[in-house]
């Protein structure tokens, strides 16, 4: 009964989406207000219907109804309740339903926040967005029905892959999807703008919060995925240039370029076609990401559901959405004439360089990810592109880009001068060189990477501090005056500073984790010890315990450094009988200076337990750095609200159109 | 001229879409291997650190076996490993391993940590043999018959389903074929 209700809701959502899209496009010719109200109501109805379908699927999982195929294949009565719920999207059908839910969620959010002044643009955006919804609900209904029945119903389910029974991985897909799908709104706005043949600063201002929202979610989603790999895979690998990781990195890069070029468009009314193209690309790459994971075109750990017939459907969606929008771009982008001019030395030009570098980096990742596919389709040869390729190409490109970060923020719009900025940034250069030398001296005589990374991180961080000090006149005005200036700085400036600072922290952490990692391993019997980087690790005891849906083997270690007792660590191995799989739960001692990471292996009767220990310097700053990055994005989103309030406050009789412009 | 430049993104996408289409036509888990029904290319790999015996293509003669390519740097291999352990414990078929593109010591540490399902392991740190085998990535597994010929190729993780529905029936078929012949 519940499954059938969900099925009906999903089919209705498809019909509403398709109808709303077609009727809205048709109605836009008349320019009637009714069209806008209709499109809005349709957007809300789609969300309500998909939400109902999602609730039905959740109920099936919560009640462990094994007559539903998806539940039987992915759940089990003994599974902890929370993982029954997160199991809803731990499988192909459910995760696509989540995709559709978030898609309609964004559309509904637009319906609730859009201002009537923008009726035409927003209605058109609704129409494009609903077309995407129709495509994806059709994909669900025809190829990936989450409500398929299984008869006779089995007594119990096959359990969720134990690797997926983890808080990190349970929260990672919703975040990532919120990022991917968030770019659908900016995509739809871009298509609407192309159809209208008009984009301007106002368009940029409306679109910016949506782009930033998607970008923040994607940042957090990628960080959660990396931290899941770090904690769960048992060897501390947080980024492996796996095709699916690359698939999330590409829209992030395109999105990063997009939010920077949006700023140029908003301020200077230029780079129009380029910005619109980035909006199209960010969502296209998100779709390609979904395509990668779901079709099995590239096999990887993430391809839990490999099915070529679905691939054909997704390919059709890709051709429609990406091909259609790029064709529209070719036809209409010529109409988008820039008005602002800028010289070679200006904030615009540095942001353009930023865009070109990020674009090149994105193309590199794309090339590296798909090259094996290209080669296998044209010849019988097969090749792989691994981490060495990406490290040798992506890292230097990003390194050069990072040098520009503090310079760009300080340059004036339109026409800037480099000499005064060079003078202002001199302390940052000194700090960077000093830190690089220190890092080289202490840690990294054999390789230069650690020193370079440290220097770059310091350059950005000190550069950001100098920029803020300048803006608040920290060294010229009194403390009170500076504080007042700081309070008056637009949140957007704070957002930029915070995000760039987060970038510096992340760069530093990446440097630490990859350049200065230490590891060792040994077979250990209880009572034996192991040395690593000044720590002494003693295996005290190994215990076996039976848990609800797994058997656990726990190795208790005590850690000392010199004479100091640093407490205990427990590394665990879990065996899941239903799936006959085991997983490792690493013991991690996290400190600001680095993680001590210990895993327990499968014992051998004569030699004891194989123990592997690692030191990952500054690992926790990876997560903190990416959180700061996302916080920067959040501050910039908040900026819009504050400026809108400020505009409303004086409240002289403003013409309606102008007020709407500021509010939107 | 500039109008035409605007179509460049579309053109690039069209090229890619063709490749996607071609890529889809082939189920990635059934990428036709040139090696199917041919003899395994000859190789003689050195042992991993701390092991006495390496792996040579001659070791794979005279029995039905699985040849599994792995690397300690490869997350899917970590996912697959418990399944290999289970197959090894069940004694259904001997598994031989090739440690692909690992730095010295990494493969040994990996086997010590996760258990060793392999009868013998060869160290292919330079990836030479992997090229001869036409590898698309790790993990990848070849099913070898008594005559030392490749009979099936499995790309990606051996999931419990892949083992139950595809590989085990094939192994059993080859084993009974070998007994009769």
Give the pLDDT confidence of A463-513 residue by residue, as tens digits: 999 988 888 887 777 778 888 888 888 888 899 999 999 999 999 999 988
Which residues of B are less than 8 Å from A303 in CB distance? 156
pLDDT digits (tens, 9 = 90+) for B124-154: 887 778 777 777 677 889 999 888 888 888 8
Q: Are A216 and A634 in contact (CB under 8 A)?
A: yes
Is A229–B75 a contact, with Cβ atoms under 8 angstroms apart? yes
* Residue A644 confidence (pLDDT) above 80: no
Residue A648's pLDDT is 45
Give the residue on A whose Cα is nearest the Cα of B10.
A326
Q: How confident is the model at residue A192 (pLDDT cuts 50, 70, 90)?
A: very high
A133/chain B closest Cα distance in angstroms:
22
- Mutation choice for A interface testing from B75, B128, B134, B166 by most A CBs within 10 A: B75
Which residues of B are less than 8 Å from A574 in CB distance? none
- Angle among Cα A168, A395, A532 to the nearest 5 degrees reads 60
B121/chain A closest Cα distance in angstroms:
18
Give the residue on A whose Cα is nearest the Cα of B116.
A602
Residue A252 within a domain: no
Higher pLDDT, A405 or A50: A50
Higher pLDDT, A103 or A72: A103
Q: Are A243 and A298 in contact (CB under 8 A)?
A: yes
Is B13–A322 a contact, with Cβ atoms under 8 angstroms apart? yes
Residue A181 within a domain: no
Residue A416 within a domain: yes
Which residues of A are less than 8 Å from B10 in CB distance? 323, 326-327, 329-330
Which residues of B are less than 8 Å from A165 in CB distance? none
Is B82–A581 a contact, with Cβ atoms under 8 angstroms apart? yes
Of A372, A582, A611, the CB nearest to B136: A372
The H or E element spanning position A634 is helix A620-648
Which residues of B are less than 8 Å from A284 in CB distance? 13
Q: Are residues A572 and A648 in the same domain?
A: no
One DSSP character per residue, B41-97 reads: PP-EEPPPTT-S--EEGGGGTTS-EEEEEE-TT-HHHHHHHHHHHHHHHHTSS-EEE
Q: Are residues A590 and A444 in the same domain?
A: no
Instruction: Output the CA torsion sign for B99, B100, B106, B109.
Output: negative
Give which of A52, A16, A98 is closest to A290, Cα–Cα.
A98
Is A610–B113 a contact, with Cβ atoms under 8 angstroms apart? yes
Give the residue on A whose Cα is nearest the Cα of B8.
A330
Higher pLDDT, A121 or A384: A121
Which residues of B are less than 8 Å from A583 in CB distance? 82
**Any A CB within 8 A of B86 CB:** yes
Q: Are residues A452 and A600 in the same domain?
A: no
Q: At what angle do helices A449-471 and A387-410 cross, to 10 degrees?
A: 20
Helix (H, G, I), strand (E, B) or coil at A383: coil
Q: Distance between CA A92 and CA A175 in Å, rounded?
A: 16
pLDDT digits (tens, 9 = 90+) for A589-598: 988 989 999 9
Of A298, A301, A334, the CB nearest to B79: A301
**Any A CB within 8 A of B78 CB:** yes
A307/chain B closest Cα distance in angstroms:
8
Q: Are residues A88 and A142 in the same domain?
A: yes
Q: Distance between CA A534 and CA A528 in Å, rounded?
A: 16
Q: Are residues A585 and A633 in the same domain?
A: no
Of B6, B17, B86, the CB nearest to A319: B17
Q: Distance between CA B59 and CA A295 in Å, rounded?
A: 37
* Residue A605 confidence (pLDDT) above 70: yes
For range A559-573, the mean pLDDT? 89
Residue A579's pLDDT is 64
- Mutation choice for A interface testing from B137, B156, B163 by most A CBs within 10 A: B137
A229/chain B closest Cα distance in angstroms:
8
Domain end, chosen from A111, A134, A165, is at A165
Residue B118's pLDDT is 94
Q: Are residues A507 and A527 in the same domain?
A: no
**Any A CB within 8 A of B161 CB:** no
Is A327–B10 a contact, with Cβ atoms under 8 angstroms apart? yes
Instruction: Output the CA torsion sign for A191, A196, A197, A198.
Output: negative
Q: Distance between CA A491 and CA A637 in Å, rounded?
A: 8
Q: Are residues A118 and A128 in the same domain?
A: yes
**Any A CB within 8 A of B174 CB:** no
A30/chain B closest Cα distance in angstroms:
30
> How far separated are the first and last CA of chain A, in Å rounded?
44
* Residue A25 CB neighbours (<10 A): 18
* Structural domain boundaries, residue A504: 391-516+621-663
* Residue A188 confidence (pLDDT) above 50: yes
* Residue B34 confidence (pLDDT) above 60: no
Eight-state DSSP code of residue A234:
S
Q: Which residues of A298-311 are buried (b: 16+ CB within 10 A; e: fewer)?
A: bbbbbbbbbbbebb
Eight-state DSSP code of residue A32:
-
Give the residue on B whose Cα is nearest the Cα of A229.
B75
**Any A CB within 8 A of B147 CB:** no
Of B7, B13, B78, the CB nearest to A233: B78
Residue A251 within a domain: no
Helix (H, G, I), strand (E, B) or coil at B148: coil
Residue A174 within a domain: no
Which residues of A are less than 8 Å from B114 in CB distance? 601-602
Q: Distance between CA A651 and CA A19 in Å, rounded?
A: 41
Higher pLDDT, B7 or A215: A215
* Residue B91 confidence (pLDDT) above 80: yes
Q: How would you class B77 by CB atoms within 10 Å of its CB: exposed for 0-12, middle for 13-18, buried for 19 or more? A: buried
Residue A374 within a domain: no
Higher pLDDT, A136 or A606: A136
Quote the percentage of chain B above a pLDDT of 70: 87
Is B24–A315 a contact, with Cβ atoms under 8 angstroms apart? yes
Residue A627's pLDDT is 96
Which domains occur in chain B, in start order?
Answer: 33-180 (3.40.30.10)
Q: What is the number of domains present in chain A?
A: 3
Q: Distance between CA B22 and CA B53 in Å, rounded?
A: 42
> How far separated are the first and last CA of chain B, in Å rounded?
70
Of A308, A370, A579, the CB nearest to B24: A308
**Any A CB within 8 A of B72 CB:** yes
Helix (H, G, I), strand (E, B) or coil at A600: strand
Is A308–B27 a contact, with Cβ atoms under 8 angstroms apart? yes
Measured in whole angstroms, the distance separating CA A145 from the mean position of its chain's CA atoms is: 27
Domain end, chosen from A99, A133, A165, is at A165
Is B113–A602 a contact, with Cβ atoms under 8 angstroms apart? yes
Size of interface A-B (CB pairs under 8 A): 142
Q: Are residues A7 and A134 in the same domain?
A: yes
Q: How confident is the model at residue B26 (pLDDT cuts 50, 70, 90)?
A: low
Q: What are phi and psi of A205, to 5 degrees?
A: -70, -35
Q: Are residues A126 and A28 in the same domain?
A: yes
Is B19–A580 a contact, with Cβ atoms under 8 angstroms apart? no
pLDDT digits (tens, 9 = 90+) for A538-550: 999 888 888 877 8
pLDDT digits (tens, 9 = 90+) for A23-62: 998 888 776 778 888 899 999 999 999 999 999 999 999 9
Give the residue on B whose Cα is nearest the Cα of A578.
B160
Which residues of A are less than 8 Å from B82 in CB distance? 580-583
Q: Are residues A606 and A630 in the same domain?
A: no
Is B160–A291 a contact, with Cβ atoms under 8 angstroms apart? no
For tokens 């190729």, the residue is B153
Which residues of A are less than 8 Å from B83 in CB distance? 580-581
Residue A311 within a domain: no
* Residue A198 confidence (pLDDT) above 70: yes
Q: Are residues A632 and A527 in the same domain?
A: no
**Any A CB within 8 A of B104 CB:** no
Q: Which residues of A593-614 are buried (b: 16+ CB within 10 A; e: fewer)?
A: ebbbbbbbbbbeeeebbbbbbb
Q: How confident is the model at residue A376 (pLDDT cuts 50, 70, 90)?
A: low
Q: How confident is the model at residue A163 (pLDDT cuts 50, 70, 90)?
A: low
- Mutation choice for B interface testing from A158, A230, A310, A601 by most B CBs within 10 A: A601
**Any A CB within 8 A of B27 CB:** yes
One DSSP character per residue, A482-502 reads: HHHHHHHS-HHHHHHHHHHHH
Residue A102 is encoded by which pair of tokens?
A: 């978030």
Residue B146 is encoded by which pair of tokens?
A: 């008594």
Measured in whole angstroms, the distance separating CA A279 from the mean position of its chain's CA atoms is: 16
Global pTM value: 0.81
Report whether the peptide linkage leading into residue A152 is cis, meaning its omega lies within 30 degrees of zero: yes
Is A373–B19 a contact, with Cβ atoms under 8 angstroms apart? yes
pLDDT digits (tens, 9 = 90+) for B105-114: 888 888 888 8
Cβ-Cβ contacts under 8 Å for A349 (sequence gap 6 or more): A342, A343
Q: Are residues A487 and A533 in the same domain?
A: no
Which residues of A are less than 8 Å from B34 in CB distance? 380
Domain end, chosen from A145, A165, A185, is at A165
Q: Are A355 and A416 in contact (CB under 8 A)?
A: no
B83/chain A closest Cα distance in angstroms:
7
């Amino acid at each position: 009964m519940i499954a059938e209700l969900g099925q009906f809701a999903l089919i209705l959502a498809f019909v509403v989406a398709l109808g709303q899209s077609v009727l809205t496009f048709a109605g836009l010719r008349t320019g009637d207000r009714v069209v806008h109200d209709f499109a809005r109501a349709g957007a809300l109805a789609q969300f309500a219907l998909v939400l109902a379908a999602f609730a039905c699927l959740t109920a099936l999982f919560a009640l462990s109804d094994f007559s539903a195929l998806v539940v039987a294949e992915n759940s089990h009565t003994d599974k902890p309740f929370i993982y029954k719920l997160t199991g809803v999207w731990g499988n192909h059908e459910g995760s696509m339903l989540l995709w559709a839910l978030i898609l309609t969620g964004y559309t509904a959010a637009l319906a609730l926040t859009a201002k009537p002044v923008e009726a035409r643009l927003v209605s058109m955006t609704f129409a494009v967005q609903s077309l995407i919804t129709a495509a994806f609900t059709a994909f669900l209904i025809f190829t990936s029905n989450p409500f398929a029945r299984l008869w006779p119903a089995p007594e119990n389910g096959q359990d969720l892959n134990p690797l997926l029974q983890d808080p990190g991985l349970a929260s990672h897909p919703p975040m990532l999807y919120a990022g991917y799908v968030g770019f659908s709104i900016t995509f739809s706005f871009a298509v609407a703008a192309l159809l209208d043949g008009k984009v301007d600063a106002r368009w940029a201002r409306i679109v910016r919060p949506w782009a930033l929202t998607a970008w923040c979610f994607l940042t957090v989603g990628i960080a959660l995925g990396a931290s899941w790999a770090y904690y769960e895979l048992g060897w501390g690998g947080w980024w492996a240039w796996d095709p699916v990781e690359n698939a999330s990195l590409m829209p992030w890069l395109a999105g990063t370029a997009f939010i920077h070029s949006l700023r140029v468009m908003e301020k200077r009314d230029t780079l129009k076609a380029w910005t619109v193209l980035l909006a199209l690309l960010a969502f296209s790459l998100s779709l390609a990401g979904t395509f990668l994971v779901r079709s099995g075109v590239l096999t990887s750990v993430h391809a839990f559901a490999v099915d070529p017939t679905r691939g054909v459907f997704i390919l059709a969606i890709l051709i429609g959405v990406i091909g259609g929008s790029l064709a529209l771009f070719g036809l209409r982008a010529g109409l988008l004439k820039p008005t602002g001019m800028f010289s070679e030395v200006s904030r615009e030009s540095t942001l353009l360089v930023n865009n070109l570098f990020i674009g090149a980096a994105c193309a590199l990742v794309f090339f590296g990810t798909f090259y094996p596919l290209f080669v296998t389709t044209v010849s019988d040869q097969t090749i792989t592109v691994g981490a060495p390729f990406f490290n040798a190409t992506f890292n230097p490109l990003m390194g050069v880009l990072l040098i520009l970060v503090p310079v760009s923020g300080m340059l004036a719009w339109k026409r800037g001068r480099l000499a005064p900025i060079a003078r202002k940034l001199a302390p940052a250069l000194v700090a960077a060189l000093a830190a690089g030398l220190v890092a080289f001296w202490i840690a990294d005589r054999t390789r230069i990477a650690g020193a370079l990374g440290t220097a770059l991180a310091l350059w950005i961080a000190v550069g950001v501090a100098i920029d803020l000090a300048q803006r608040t006149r920290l060294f010229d005005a009194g403390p009170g005056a500076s504080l007042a200036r700081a309070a008056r700085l637009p949140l957007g400036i704070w957002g930029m500073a915070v995000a760039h600072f987060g970038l510096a922290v992340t760069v530093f952490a990446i440097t630490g984790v990859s350049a200065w990692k230490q590891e060792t391993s040994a077979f250990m019997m209880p009572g034996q010890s192991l040395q690593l980087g000044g720590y002494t690790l003693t295996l005290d005891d190994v215990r076996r315990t039976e848990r609800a849906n797994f058997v656990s083997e726990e190795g208790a270690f005590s850690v000392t450094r010199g004479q100091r007792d640093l407490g205990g660590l427990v590394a665990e191995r879990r065996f899941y009988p239903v799936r006959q799989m085991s997983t490792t739960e690493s013991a991690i001692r996290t400190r600001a200076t680095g993680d001590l990471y210990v895993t327990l292996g499968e014992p051998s009767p004569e030699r004891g337990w194989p123990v592997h220990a690692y030191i990952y310097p500054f690992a926790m700053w990876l997560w903190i750095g990416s959180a700061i990055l996302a916080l920067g994005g959040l501050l910039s989103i908040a900026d819009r609200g504050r400026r809108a309030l400020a505009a409303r406050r004086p409240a002289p009789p403003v013409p309606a159109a102008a007020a709407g412009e500021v509010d939107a | 001229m500039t109008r035409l430049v605007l179509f460049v993104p579309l053109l690039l996408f069209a090229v890619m879409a063709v490749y996607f289409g071609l890529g889809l036509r082939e189920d990635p888990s059934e990428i036709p291997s040139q090696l199917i029904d041919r003899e395994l290319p000859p190789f003689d790999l050195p042992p991993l650190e701390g092991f006495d015996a390496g792996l040579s293509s001659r070791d794979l003669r005279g029995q039905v076996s699985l040849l599994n390519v792995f690397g300690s740097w490869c997350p899917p291999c970590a996912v697959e490993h418990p399944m290999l352990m289970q197959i090894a414990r069940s004694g259904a078929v001997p598994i031989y391993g090739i440690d692909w593109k690992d730095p010295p010591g990494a493969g040994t540490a990996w086997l010590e940590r996760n258990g060793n399902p392999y009868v013998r392991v060869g160290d292919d740190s330079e990836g030479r043999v992997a090229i001869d085998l036409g590898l698309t990535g790790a993990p990848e597994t070849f099913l070898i018959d008594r005559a030392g010929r490749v009979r099936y190729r499995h790309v990606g993780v051996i999931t419990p389903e892949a083992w139950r529905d595809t590989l085990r029936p094939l192994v059993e078929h080859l084993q009974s074929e070998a007994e009769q012949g």
